[in-house]
Every structure is written in structure tokens, then in C-alpha cells.
Amino acid sequence: MIPYFRSLAARFVYRRQTERELEEELRSHIELRADGLERSGFTRAEAERRARVEFGGEARFKEECRDAIAGNFLDILMQDLRFSLRALAKQPVFTVVAIVTLAIGIGMTTAMLSIVHDVLVRPLPYTNSGRLYAAYTGSESTGQTRIAASGPEYLDYRDQNKSFVRIAEYLPRFTFTWTGEGEPKLVTCTAGSEDFFAALGVRPYLGRLYEPREFSYLKDDTMVVSYRFWKTKLGGDPHVIGRTIRLQDESVAIIGVLPPMSDLFPDTDVWPKLTTRPSWPFMQWRANKFLRVVGELRPGITPRMAEEDLTAILRRAPDEPRDVRVQLVPLKEDLVGNLRAPLIATLGAAALILVVASINVAALLLARAVKRQPEMALRLSLGAGLGRIARQLITEATVLNGAGCALGLLLAWSALRLVAQLPNLSLPRLDEVHLNTPALAVTILIASATTVLFGWLPAIGFSRLHLSSALRSRGTETGARRKLSLPALVVAEIACSVVLTISVGLLVHSFWRVMHVDPGFQARSLFRAYLRSDSPPNDPEGLRVYNEKAVPFWQNLLTETASLPDVRSTAISDWKPGRDSEIATLLLEGRPYDEAHLPTIEGTWVSADFFRTVGAQLVTGRSFTERDNADAPSVVIINTQAARQFWPGQNPIGKRIGVNYTGPGRRTSGATPRLREIVGVVGTIRHGPLDAPTAPAVYMPYLQDETSHDMSAMNLLVRTEGNAVGLAQNLRKQIHALRPDEPVEQIQSVEELEAQSIVPRRYTLLLLATFAVVDLVLAAVGVYGVISYVTAQRTREFGVRIALGATRGRVVSEVLRGGVRLTVIGSAIGLVGAFIVTRSLSALLFEISPLDPLSYSVAVALLALISVCACLVPAWRASRVDPIIAIQSE
Amino acid sequence: MDYEAELLPGTLDLLILKAVSIGPLHGYGVLLRIGQISGRALLIEQGALYPALFRLVRQGLLKTEWGKSENNRRAKFYELTSKGRKRLREETDGWNRLVAAIASALAARPQEA
């Protein structure tokens, strides 16, 4: 070992001395030999000359001595590196295109893999994450799935199940009013039952969590808050434990701060206890299914077994459809499941980009290698070994690859930065997305393997290079292998691009459809403010007192706000534009009541001017008036979809129905609902996101809710003339004049709410469209590169043909024909791929088939156009060949 | 007939080790010694000796020292290290076995094959 290091030192540390000694040693050899020759009778001069001749090629042996010193490979590496950099710098276009292509492939794929991993794949950060399941019910006969649970249902599960270590219920995202510190504010609450935090295995960040006995208290006097709320609203005060705040007009002491939980309703501010308290009587109604259930499975119990267990419990309950079933969903899927389709689609697109980028780089490297045949032949003839040339090529590819990887890493990193900051993109867990090292490793490995493989591949060809012909012919000779592989790469590239372009075409077409969908109302110049107040009490006397205050408030609010400047009309409704209304079951008078097949309908409470304010179309019958109040006969208006579905071919006016809520927070006691008469039919309004399917809907006067529950949370809808200046301020003033402690959140334009409702689609489209554009550019570069190369190879042939009288037009069309043939083959393969791939996109499509002919033909036409354009330049160049120069140059 | 055999690949190292085993030698001396002990039967290109010497030094089989030659010229002398001595023994044994094996193979008569 020591001699080796001494030898290394000789090379690197004592370089000059080593060189001098080598020189001296060889000189001394020659002189010693000359001495010997002199002794046998030669003159000194003759002796030295002979000694030198006998010694042989001094320069070569010196070189071999240097090679024999340790660390030689490093020297060669440095040489290769220097040479590579020079070679790459000599062809800046090739180099830049190859590096950027690699970087795009690596960067985009890594970024998407990181996002998909962190959002979809990464386990929940809770102790028991693998065994946490959400429980829903569904029944085939009613066609309903993912139905939540009611309070009594949960208690049955909790007390009778044999499958769970712990089972908890929780209610995400309701609001409390926070007063006493400046303007009244709304805070977002998620409430969990006793075992909730224990089932998840969450520990407090500060202070403590609730103790079991606290769940039997009737009021909230302690509160656990979220990390975010503590940081942003309470200033991250380390001594926050024990501080009291006023929530819902009660003083509560903060006892604990939770750790950051980006997975679990990250917008939650406070975490109250979910208990059966007097103010929450709806917790006791069996038909009131709005609670979510999560449980930690016992070891050894499979989800199937637990489903059987809970189903048996549920079927013992009254009023359940006979085929009701409990379905367990892994909690993670429950929380991020709806993101699967767009994320997987985007990941697929990113992977395609990586493939296309790799193919591009491969094609570029091959074309370049052939162009360098004369250079390689020269080096071979000057004594460079094949191994040395292969090493040189690999070094070049590695340098290229290294630069591409570095740039790709930068790209991935900045892409992740950008995604985390996208407005309105409320992906759960996104704030915790990190560059995923394994993902980076995989993409870099794929890209590097391609680059180095295709960088090295030509070396095999060179080994069979005939020196004389290669030198003479200026690299017009191509091995059969390369003649085949280059076009094959183009075909593969076009096929991948066709798949991606068609997929994106489908999304663009879907988006166009969504943008042109008729929402059934006029979103422009419509504004919305969210107003909430206390829930009404349950007892008749309390309800009467409540109504005495609440009814005049809403009535006054409507008249006062309607007379504000620039306001045309106002209405209130419990519907928030962009959100589905609550689901109710429907009772049709005069039809058999089949509890297993209750039809469902969206129910919305509205004020008299609702339809005029939102701009909906009354189809038949009458609209609501001020006279449809609590004392008048109960009336409803249905939408056309409900009319078609429940009274096909009949006039629904005059028919009577009962409406029974099942949705969150609603009060339905399960008793037979009162019957309401249909007085009108209105055009179908899209309640939810523009791209969501519509449902049958029923509208009811808000004063005819016998529980007054609707009045605890309302949306004030304001129709203005053009852009009403100062509207927000005027509204706020008006509302506070009527109710000083009403928290008025920002006043939103409904147009914006509608736009927000399709944000996920917009971003998916944006992302995929970016990928498609990048892909098309890559494809264009690839086709251009290969066709130019192949055409350049045939310069001499074209020259001869032009000399023999071929027209230039003929030459152009011949080159184009070559390109078109590859495009047609590639497109055909791509179409087959698209047939297979686009099926998995159906969840992202809107009112079009995955085989939508328009998207297919536009995508293929676009790609054909691009590839023909990419062929035009080389074709034109071929036609300008000067026959004399082309032939002579051989 | 004066017969000069080409060196088999790999044998140059062995010859150098053998030449140096008798005492320290400079490069030219190694050449002379090989000529002498092989009865001038082996042909070595003079310059080719040096890369081999450098390689043996790197492998730690030889050590070097600058000194004066018999006719008073400065020269680099090569000397066997203990590792080199051991290697020489092994290689010599190996070589002898190989020669014996090949010789017996060549001496075989057709019937015995």
C-alpha cells in the first residue's frame, strides 16, 4: 500500500521532480550504453547515436512510465473531462438542447413523483396510521354510498363492536364565533369524541388533551387549539396554556395546542369536544347522519371482518334499508382520495415526458456519434485504443448527464416551491411536500442509463469502422443498427407524444365544456356574505323566543340591504354558491313509502326574492312571495330535474311532498315530515362545482322551516348594478347596525366562488397542458434533429439526383415523405396507446367520452403539423444542395 | 544458429526480479544482467524495460536509490524488497511448474494421448 501512495505522490505532489528524474534516468541509461559501445571502438558521437537508436521510442516509453505510476486513471479522466468539455462546447446547440431536455425530464418527473408520494403514498404521521379506517354506510337499493353516521349509530358501534381497539366519531369544519378581541370572527372547528386523539395517537404539542371526564361536562370550558391557530391568531405565545378566550359567548380556557397536522383538516382552528350536550340535540337523532367515524382496528382483524361486525350492528337499528352495509375506507384514502385521479394523471404525463426526453437525448447522441465517425477513425488510426475511445464517449455522456441532472434537480426543487405557493390549491399535506430522494434517484438513474448507454453504444459501431472509408467519406456511412434505431426512436417519441397530447386534448375539451356549462343562474354582479348565529333551541318555548328575535333580523336585513345604492335585489339562502346543498330524502304523497328506496333530493331554504336575485328561470307555476311565511301553507319549488325524475310526463304543480334531511347539522327527528305543496318549477341551478353533476333539488321558504335551524347560518346574496362601489363596506355597516356582534367574513363575488369551485380542474389542466407543450417542443426537436441528420447523410445522393435532373420539389417531398411515414407509424401506435390510457382519465372528463373524436383528431393533427414543420427545414436544406459541391466533397 | 526468443508476456517482470535479486542494479545493469544470465538468448527492447521497472516499484516489489555507476555516472539503482523476494520465489515456482507441465505435454507420444 505504501509504495502505491508514494507512487501517487510522485505523480501529483512531486510531479516536476518525478519528470526530471525520469528524464535523467533514461539519459543515464543511454550514456551507460554509449560508454559500453565506446569501449568496443566507436567514436563517442557514433556510440551515443547507436545507444539512442537501440533504446527505441523514448517519448513512448516515457509515456508508458508515466502510465505505470499510480493514479494514471485520474490523469486520463482529467484529460477525458477536458476533452469532453471542449467537444461539448464546440457544439453548443446540441449541448444545450441535450442538457435542457434531460433537466426537463428529470425535473418534472421528480417533482410530480415527490408530490404524489407525499400527498397520496406517504402514510399518515399518526402512530396507528396503518390500522386507521373510516366507516361509512351505503346501500345498493338506494344507490347511496359514503353516508355518514348519526350519534346513536356511533354509540351502537362503540358499545357493540368487537373489531376496534378504539372507535371515535368526529365532525369536521363547522364554525364558532370568537368575540371579545376586536371584530367578531369565525373560527373553524373540528370536534372529536373521547377516543379521537387516542385512536390517532396524537399527542399535544403544548399542554394537555381532554380528559375522559371532561366529556361528561355539559359546557365547553376548556379548549384544545390547533398549531396553526396558536401560531397565527394567538401569536405563538409559549404561555398560552390557561389563557381564556370567548367562543360562542362562553369563556373557555386553552388547555392544549396540537402539533401541526397537515393531513387532518389543516384549516381547523379549534378542536372542541364532540359530546351530546343540550345545545347539540341533533346528536341524538338517529336519522341525522352527519358524523364521521374513525377506528383503530384490533390486530388480527381484517377490514372485511370489521365491516361484517359493524354491518350486523347497523342492521339491528330501526329504519335502515335491509341491504345497508358498512364500508371501511383507509383513513388516508378518506382524506386524500379525491386527489388520486388528477395526481396519477399528472404523474403519468410527467413519466411520458421523461421517456420522450430520454428518447430525445438518445437520438441526439446517436446522430452526433455518427457525425463524429471521421474524428473517431482518425483517433483510432493514430493509435488510440477502442477502450480509450469508449471511455471518452462515456465521459462525454456523463458530463452531459451530470449537467442535466443538476439542472433537473434545480427545476424539481423550484417546481415544488412554486406548487406549494399556488393560490387556492388546497391540497392536503402539500405544505409538507419535500423533494423525494428515492424519486430523484430513480429518475436520474433512468435518464443517466439512457444517456450513458446511448453515449457508449456508438463505440461498438466504431470498432467495426473501416478506417479508410470512414476517413474518406466524411461520415456518410451508417451501420445498419443506427439506420434502424434512429427512426425507431422518432416513432417511439411520436407515439408517446400522441398519447400525452390526446390526454391533454380530452382535458382541454372537458374544461371548455365546463366553462360553457349553463349554471342556471347569473354569477356576474352577484355577491355573497356568510352570516351565522346561534342554533335555535329544541324546546317549543325556547324556539318561540328565538324566532321572535331571529325572524325580524332576517326580514330587516333583507329590506335594508335591498335599498343600498347600486343594489337591485337581495336574498338569503343556506346554499353557498359552488357548494352542494344538503341532501334530504323525499316522501311523495300518494306513493308507497318504501324505506329501502327513499329518493333523495337537494334541499335549500330561500327567501322570497331568491330566484330573481340569483337570476334563475322560472319554468312553470309561481315564485315565492313575502306571503309564504310561517303561518301560510307550506309550499316548495322544485327544479326541472326533479320534475323530470319524479313526475315524468306529468304536471308536478299541486303535488305534495315531504322533505326529510339526512345531511350534517340538520335537525330531523325522524318523524314523518309535514307535506308541502309544489307551486312552481325552476330551471336547474348548479349548486356545486360547475363540473359536478346536477341533482334534483327542492327550494323552500326559509320561514317555513319548523325547526328554524336554517336561520343559524345563511348566505346573504346581493345582486348589484354593474360593479357596486363600496358594497362590502355598506353591507358590513348595515349588518352591524342590526346585529353588532355578527362576524362578517369577507364579501365574495359569486363569479369568483364559481371559479374557485373548479380550481382543482384548472390546475390539473394547467399542469398537464404545460407538460403537453413541453412534450410537443421536445418531440419537434427530436423529429427535427433526426430528420436533419438522416437528410444530411444523404447529401451526396441528393446532389447526384439533382445533377441528374430531379427537381428540388421532388427532393423536398421525398424528405417530407420520410418524416410523414414515421409520424404516421408513431401516431398509429400512439392512438392504440391512447385508447388504453385515456380510459383511466374518465374521472377527470366532463360530459365527453374518453374516446372523444374531436380531441383525438385535433391532437393527432397538431402533432402531424408539428412533425411536418420539423421536417420542412431539413427538406428545404436538402433541396438547396449544390450538386457539384456535394459530389466533390466525397 | 544464433537464436533469440521473443519474451513471453509477463516474463519480463520475472526476469527483472531475478536480475536484481543478486544485488542492486541500475536499469542498464538490469539489461546487461538479463543478457548475461540468459546467455543472450532473450531479446529485450531497451526502452521497454523502464515502464516495467516503474510498475514493479509501484507494486512495492522494488525500491530505488540514486547512486554512482561503476564508471562514475549518476544512475538510479533498483533493489529487491522483501515483498519482491517473496514474489520472485512464487513466480519462479509457478514458472517451473508450468515449464514442467508443458514439457511433459510435449514429450507425450501419440499412443498415450
Q: State the alpha helices, DSSP H only, in B1-113.
A: 11-21, 27-37, 49-58, 82-107
Residue A470 has pLDDT above 60, yes or no: no
> Regarding predicted confidence, which is higher, A766 or A538?
A766
In this complex, do B60 and A24 lie within 8 Å of one another by their Cβ atoms?
A: no
Please state the three-class secondary structure of A40-61 as a single string: CCCCHHHHHHHHHHHHCCHHHH
Same domain, A548 and A695: yes
Residue A21 burial class via C-beta count within 10 angstroms: exposed 0-12, middle 13-18, buried 19 and up: middle
State pLDDT tens for residues B24-49.
Answer: 888 888 888 888 887 776 667 788 88
Q: Which of A254-263, A278-287, A523-532 has the lowest mean pLDDT?
A: A278-287
Whose cell is 509477463? That residue is B10
Decide if B84 touches A, using CB distance below 8 A: no
B25-26, strands of its sheet edge to edge: B25-26, B74-80, B62-68
Average pLDDT over residues A552-571: 92
Q: What is the pLDDT confidence band of residue A35, given thresholds at 50, 70 and 90?
A: confident
| pLDDT for A295 | 93
- For a pLDDT cut of 70, what percent of chain A falls above it? 91
Could you give the CA distance from residue A507 to residue A841 in angstroms, rounded to a whole number? 9
Name every chain A residue with its beta carbon within 8 A of the beta carbon of B55.
68
Name every chain B residue with its beta carbon within 8 A of the beta carbon of A59.
none
| pLDDT for A277 | 73
Same domain, A819 and A735: no
Q: Which helix (H) or strand (E) holds A80?
A: helix A72-90
Residue A663 has pLDDT above 70, yes or no: no
Nearest CA in chain B to A11: B58
Same domain, A574 and A655: yes
Average pLDDT over residues A353-382: 81
Same domain, A312 and A206: yes
Q: Which of A73-77, A97-101, A585-589, A803-807 has the lowest mean pLDDT?
A: A73-77
Residue A558 has pLDDT above 60, yes or no: yes
Nearest CA in chain B to A64: B51
Same domain, A149 and A268: yes
Residue B60 distance to chain A (closest CA, Å): 5
| pLDDT for A464 | 61
Decide if B69 touches A, using CB distance below 8 A: yes
Is residue A522 in some structural domain? Answer: no
Query: Residue A199: which of A74, A295, A124, A77 has the closest Cα?
Result: A295
| pLDDT for B10 | 67
Q: Which helix (H) or strand (E) holds A544?
A: helix A540-562
Decide if B50 touches A, using CB distance below 8 A: yes
- Write the residue in A31, A61, A68 that is nearest to B58 by C-beta: A68
Residue A566 has pLDDT above 70, yes or no: yes
> Regarding predicted confidence, which is higher, B109 or A524?
A524
In this complex, do B28 and A64 lie within 8 Å of one another by their Cβ atoms?
A: no
Name every chain A residue with its beta carbon within 8 A of the beta carbon of B30.
none
Name every chain B residue with its beta carbon within 8 A of the beta carbon of A25.
27, 50, 75-76
> Regarding predicted confidence, which is higher, A94 or A889?
A94
Could you give the CA distance from residue A826 to residue A811 in angstroms, rounded to a whole number? 23
State pLDDT tens for residues A145-161.
Answer: 788 888 889 999 999 99
In this complex, do A28 and B48 lie within 8 Å of one another by their Cβ atoms?
A: no
Residue A467 has pLDDT above 70, yes or no: no
Average pLDDT over residues A481-509: 83
Decide if B85 touches A, using CB distance below 8 A: no
φ, ψ of residue A718 in degrees (nearest 5): -125, 120
Residue A385 has pLDDT above 90, yes or no: no
Q: Please tell me which of A190-199, A530-539, A725-734 the model is most confident about, judged by mean pLDDT.
A: A190-199
Could you give the CA distance from residue A637 to residue B87 in angstroms, rounded to a whole number? 105
| pLDDT for A127 | 77
Could you give the CA distance from residue A389 to residue A381 in angstroms, rounded to a whole number? 12
Q: Are B58 and A8 in contact (CB under 8 A)?
A: no
pTM of the predicted structure, to 2 decimals: 0.70
* Radius of gyration for the alpha carbons in chain B, expressed in angstroms and rounded: 16
Decide if B23 touches A, using CB distance below 8 A: no
Same domain, A442 and A585: no
Q: Please tell me which of A168-177, A306-315, A454-463 the model is most confident about, judged by mean pLDDT.
A: A306-315
Average pLDDT over residues A340-349: 84
Name every chain A residue with its beta carbon within 8 A of the beta carbon of B72.
none
Same domain, A595 and A726: yes
Residue A142 has pLDDT above 70, yes or no: no
Of A719, A741, A763, which residue constitutes the final position of a domain? A741
- Write the residue in A3, A54, A64 that is nearest to B59 by C-beta: A3
| pLDDT for A701 | 94
Is residue A524 in some structural domain? Answer: no
Q: What is the pLDDT confidence band of residue B2, given thresholds at 50, 70 and 90?
A: very low
What's the total number of domains in chain A?
5
| pLDDT for A409 | 92
Nearest CA in chain B to A27: B75
- Write the residue in A7, A25, A60 that is nearest to B58 by C-beta: A7
Name every chain A residue with its beta carbon within 8 A of the beta carbon of B69.
28, 32
Nearest CA in chain B to A56: B47
Residue A257 has pLDDT above 70, yes or no: yes
Q: What is the pLDDT confidence band of residue A466, given thresholds at 50, 70 and 90?
A: low
Q: Are A336 and A122 in contact (CB under 8 A)?
A: no
| pLDDT for B113 | 44
Q: Please tell me which of A2-16, A412-426, A493-507 the model is most confident about, judged by mean pLDDT.
A: A493-507
Q: What is the pLDDT confidence band of residue A625, given thresholds at 50, 70 and 90?
A: very high
Could you give the CA distance from residue B60 to residue A730 in angstroms, rounded to a whole number? 94
Instruction: Characterize A272-292 residue by residue with b for buried, 16 or more Cβ atoms within 10 angstroms of its Cβ, and e for exposed.
Output: bbbbbbeebbbbebbbbbbbb
- Write the residue in B28, B45, B52 that is nearest to A32 by C-beta: B28
Average pLDDT over residues A310-326: 84
- Write the residue in B29, B51, B69 that is nearest to A68 by C-beta: B51
Same domain, A571 and A640: yes
Number of CB pairs < 8 Å for A and B?
Answer: 76
Q: Are A652 and A627 in contact (CB under 8 A)?
A: no
| pLDDT for A679 | 96
Name every chain A residue with its beta carbon within 8 A of the beta carbon of B60.
1-4
| pLDDT for B41 | 65
Could you give the CA distance from residue A472 to residue A491 in angstroms, rounded to a whole number? 32
Is residue A130 in some structural domain? Answer: no
| pLDDT for A384 | 67
Same domain, A473 and A495: no
Same domain, A409 and A507: no
Name every chain A residue with its beta carbon within 8 A of the beta carbon of B58.
3-4, 7, 68-70
Residue A503 has pLDDT above 70, yes or no: yes
Angle between helices B49-58 and B27-37 (to 10 degrees): 110
- Write the residue in A35, A55, A70 that is nearest to B58 by C-beta: A70
Query: Residue A531: which of A566, A556, A565, A563 has the closest Cα?
Result: A556
Same domain, A511 and A586: no
State pLDDT tens for residues A811-867.
Answer: 888 888 888 898 999 999 999 999 998 888 888 888 888 889 999 999 999 999 988
Could you give the CA distance from residue A652 to residue A621 in angstroms, rounded to a whole number? 10
Could you give the CA distance from residue A644 to residue A683 in angstroms, rounded to a whole number? 11
Average pLDDT over residues A802-812: 85
Residue A479 has pLDDT above 70, yes or no: no
Same domain, A715 and A818: no
State chain A's mean pLDDT as an integer. 84
Is residue A418 in some structural domain? Answer: yes
**Interface residues of chain A, partner chain B, Cβ below 8 Å:** 1-4, 7, 21, 24-26, 28-29, 31-33, 35, 54-58, 60-61, 64-65, 67-70
- Write the residue in B28, B52, B60 that is nearest to A29 by C-beta: B28
In this complex, do B71 and A29 lie within 8 Å of one another by their Cβ atoms?
A: no
Handedness of CA A226, A230, A231, A232 (dihedral sign): positive
In this complex, do B73 and A26 lie within 8 Å of one another by their Cβ atoms?
A: no
Please state the three-class secondary structure of A804-858 as a single string: CCCCHHHHHHHHHHHHHHHHHHHHHHHHHHHHHHHHHHHHHCCCCCCCCHHHHHH
Optimal mutation site among B25, B50, B61, interface A, most CBs of chain A within 10 A: B50
Average pLDDT over residues A379-407: 82
| pLDDT for A459 | 75
Is residue A482 in some structural domain? Answer: no
Please state the three-class secondary structure of A390-416 as a single string: HHHHHHHHHHHHHHHHHHHHHHHHHHH
Domain that holds residue A643: 534-741
Residue A564 has pLDDT above 80, yes or no: yes
Of A716, A741, A766, which residue constitutes the final position of a domain? A741
Average pLDDT over residues A540-550: 89
Q: Within a 10 A sphere around the Cβ of A444, how many other Cβ atoms?
A: 20
Q: Does domain B5-112 have CATH number 1.10.10.10?
A: yes
